[in-house]
Amino acid sequence: MSASGPARRWAIVGGGTAGLAAALFLARAGHEVVLFERVANPEPVGAGILIQPTGMAVLRELGLLQRVLARGERIERLYGLTSYGRMVLDLGYADLRPDLFGLGIHRGALFSVLWDAVCADSRIERRMGVEITSLDEGSGGVTLAGEGFDRVVVASGARSPLRAPGATVKPYPWGALWFVAKQNPKPGVLFQRYRDTRQMIGLLPSGDGTVSCFWSLRADALPGWRAAGLDAWKAEVRALMPEAPIDEVHSIDEVIFAPYFDVVAPRWHTERVVWLGDAAHAMSPQLGQGANLALQDAAALAQVDDFAEYTRRRTQQLRFYSLASRMLTPFFQSSWPFLAPGRDLVAGPLHAWGWYRRQMLTSLAGTKTGFFSEMALP
């Protein structure tokens, strides 16, 4: 069942980061690949994401890193302050290794690079406008959309109707409003400000001279936010981060709400079906690992002999980031403001402790496999 084994017919459900990367790996290993995507005409959309060194290593393996680097902006540092100016987060990639950095890029730009590579590969057949909501796995293969396949990759996102065995899906109470602006007040820095745990704003340089701006919001507060109007929200933003380019927003329709989901499964495979990316393990973006884990999923799939081995290889890293994200998120996005004083009191001084700083940096770079273990830096 290895990507380097006998040629097989694979179906990939979902044309996001994980699905496109998996299609490229499998096609280059000599397999027949059919990609199903529910959107008839996929277009590059989405706000900024942060690609870590682990994700860049996979893109390098695919021969796409230079194209991606050209579309994004180097992030050298993550810096976060409270509303009263106390440092809570200050991490520089160079403190881990001088050549390391993150890459801020629009999700749509990453999609474009991967999509162009898929379209250029004649071994990948694309079926657009086809939504796969069920499949039938038998002893001889898997049937979906009326066709038979030897193996299936499910990479159709956090809301996928196709679930790994025993999977649970829970929406986070909080999500984020986002918009894209041209004025970037903090080049090379992912900059955040926090007012206890109920307000957070972040600026992520995203390439092409733009910055993606994020604002925490409870999902059930979205109707009230819309009813209050744009001017009321602009006043809140200016009060927390005066340098935010909020004046570039002229209509409430320019601001998009992104919900978060928590997807947990005891394993990410059956005998002939494997789950990758958010369909397998969606989590809060607090640790900035979504795209990186999806890319690493695709790279791991290309190396295994069977899907049980895939789950075994991915378990430590995915369990760590899922749990760490679940533990960390309430300190920055929750209705529990009583968590903020402790966070504000200890987070800054802890940065001076070498062991703690290394754990934070390796978590950021995407190399952690447990609270006390990590993989080699790429």
Across-strand partners of 170?
262
- pLDDT score of 378: 87
- CATH for 24: 3.50.50.60
Residues 220/173, Cβ–Cβ less than 8 Å: yes
304 within domain boundaries? yes
Among residues 126, 148, 109, 121, the alpha carbon closest in space to that of 40 is found at 126
Return all residues near 114 (Cβ < 8 A) that are at least 6 apart. 17, 20, 21, 24, 64
Which stretches of the chain drop beneath a pLDDT of 70?
A: 1-5, 44
Neighbours of 130 (CB within 10 A): 16
Return all residues near 135 (Cβ < 8 A) that are at least 6 apart. 142, 143, 144, 152, 162, 273
How many structural domains does the chain have? 1
- pLDDT score of 4: 53
- pLDDT score of 211: 96
Instruction: Give residue 357's domain range.
Output: 9-169+261-371
Among residues 294, 264, 289, 298, the alpha carbon closest in space to that of 277 is found at 294
Residues 301/310, Cβ–Cβ less than 8 Å: yes
Burial class (CB in 10 A: 0-12, 13-18, 19+), 310: buried
- Burial pattern 333-364, b for ≥16 Cβ within 10 A else e, equals bbeeeeebeebbeebbeebeeeeebebbbbbb
pLDDT tens per residue, range 72-118:
999 999 999 999 999 999 999 999 999 999 999 999 999 999 999 99
213 within domain boundaries? no
Q: Hunting for tokens 């006043």 — which residue is that?
A: 235
48 within domain boundaries? yes
228 within domain boundaries? no
331 within domain boundaries? yes
Q: How far apart are CA 217 and CA 215, in angstroms?
A: 6
CA 31 to chain centre: 27
CA 77 to chain centre: 18
- pLDDT score of 115: 97
- pLDDT score of 5: 63
